[in-house]
C-alpha cells in the first residue's frame, strides 16, 4: 500500500495529465459530431485490424488439421482412381478399343433468350456455325434434356424447347428399360408426359425416366425426371406424368451435343432398304 502511495505521489502530475487528456478526448467525442465520427472510424479500423490478425493466427493454428483432412481426401480419391482404373482395364479387355473414343462431344454455351409460358417455346444460344453447331443437334444440362437445335447463324442458334407441344423425344424407364414417347402437353412447365408404355410393365411413383439413346441426338441414360402420377388404367398403355429435374425458368448454361458418328449412321440407314 505504501509503495502504491509513493508511486502516485511521485508521478502525480503525469497521472493527472493522463486523466485530463482522457477526459478531454471523451468530451470531444461526445459533444462534437465530427470528432465523434473520426473516433468511431479509428475504433473500427483498430478493431478490424485486430480481428484480421486474430483470424490469421487462428487459421494458421488450424493448418495442421486442414492438411490432415486434405491428405485423407487425397487418399480416398487415389483409392477411387485405382478402382476405376482396374474396372477400365477389365472393360477394355472385354470390349477392345470401342470404349476409348467417345461417341459425343459437347459445346458449353449460354442461354441468351428463353420462353416457358407459350405453347411453342424456343431458346436462343450464343453459339452458331462458327462454333461447330448444326441443326438437329441436341441440347442438354446435367439435369436433363433441353431441346433440339432448329436454326443456326454464324454466332447464334435457336432451339426447340422440350416445352414445345410439337417436340417428342424417345425416353425409357431406368429401372425396366421399357421405352416410349415423351412430350409436353402445354400445361405445367415442370411436368411432361410419357406414353406408349404397355400396361403390363410394372411402374411406380418415383421411378426415374431417362433418355433411351435410340436417336443419336441425345446420349442414352440422361436422367430427365421422376414419375409423379400414373393414369390410363383399363387402356393398352400407361399415361405417365413425369416431373422434370430441370427448371426451365432458371436456365443459364447448357451443352450442345455433337454426335461424332451421326453421319455414318444416317448414311447406313438411308442405304438400307427397310420395309
Q: What are the residue ranges spanned by the domains of the chain?
A: 2-60, 108-260
Residue 101 predicted with pLDDT over 80? no
Q: At 266, is the pLDDT very low, low, confident or very high (cuts 50, 70, 90)?
A: low
In b/e form, how buried is each residue of 137-164, taking b as 16+ CB within 10 angstroms?
A: bbbbbebbbbbbbbebeeebbbbbbbbb
Give the separation between CA 137 and CA 148, rounded to whole angstroms.
Answer: 6
Q: Which helix (H) or strand (E) holds 47?
A: helix 33-61
In b/e form, how buried is each residue of 53-77, taking b as 16+ CB within 10 angstroms?
A: eeeeeeeeeeeeeeeeeeeeeeeee
Indicate the pairing of strand 157-164 with strand 120-125. Answer: antiparallel
Question: 108-260 architecture in CATH?
Answer: Beta Barrel (2.40)
User: What does the block give as the cell for 4?
Assistant: 502504491
Residue 173: alpha-carbon gap to chain centroid: 24
166-176: pLDDT as tens digits: 999 999 999 99
237-248: pLDDT as tens digits: 889 999 999 999
Lowest-confidence segment of 15-19, 127-131, 220-224, 240-244 by average pLDDT: 15-19
Residue 183 predicted with pLDDT over 90? yes
Amino acid at each position: 500500500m505504501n509503495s502504491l502511495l509513493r508511486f502516485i505521489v511521485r508521478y502525480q502530475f503525469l497521472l493527472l495529465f493522463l486523466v485530463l487528456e482522457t477526459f478531454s478526448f471523451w468530451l470531444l467525442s461526445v459533444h462534437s459530431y465530427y470528432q465523434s465520427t473520426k473516433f468511431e472510424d479509428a475504433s473500427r479500423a483498430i478493431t478490424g485490424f485486430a480481428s484480421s490478425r486474430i483470424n490469421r493466427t487462428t487459421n494458421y493454428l488450424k493448418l495442421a488439421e486442414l492438411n490432415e483432412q486434405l491428405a485423407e481426401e487425397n487418399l480416398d480419391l487415389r483409392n477411387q482412381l485405382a478402382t476405376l482404373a482396374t474396372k477400365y482395364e477389365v472393360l477394355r479387355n472385354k470390349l477392345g478399343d470401342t470404349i476409348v473414343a467417345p461417341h459425343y462431344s459437347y459445346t458449353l454455351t449460354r442461354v441468351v433468350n428463353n420462353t416457358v409460358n407459350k405453347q411453342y417455346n424456343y431458346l436462343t444460344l450464343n453459339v452458331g456455325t462458327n462454333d461447330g453447331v448444326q441443326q438437329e443437334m441436341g441440347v442438354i444440362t446435367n439435369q436433363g434434356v433441353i431441346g433440339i437445335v432448329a436454326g443456326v447463324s454464324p454466332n447464334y442458334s435457336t432451339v426447340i424447347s422440350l416445352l414445345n407441344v410439337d417436340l417428342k423425344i424417345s425416353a425409357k424407364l431406368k429401372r425396366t428399360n421399357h421405352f416410349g414417347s415423351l412430350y409436353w402437353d402445354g400445361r405445367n412447365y415442370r411436368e411432361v408426359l410419357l406414353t406408349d408404355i404397355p400396361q403390363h410393365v410394372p411402374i411406380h411413383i418415383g421411378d426415374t425416366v431417362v433418355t433411351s439413346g435410340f436417336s443419336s441426338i441425345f446420349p442414352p441414360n440422361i436422367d430427365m425426371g421422376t414419375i409423379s402420377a400414373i393414369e390410363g388404367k383399363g387402356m393398352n398403355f400407361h399415361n405417365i406424368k413425369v416431373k422434370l429435374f430441370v427448371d426451365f425458368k432458371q436456365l443459364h448454361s447448357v451443352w450442345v451435343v455433337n454426335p461424332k458418328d451421326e453421319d455414318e449412321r444416317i448414311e447406313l440407314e438411308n442405304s438400307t432398304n427397310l420395309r
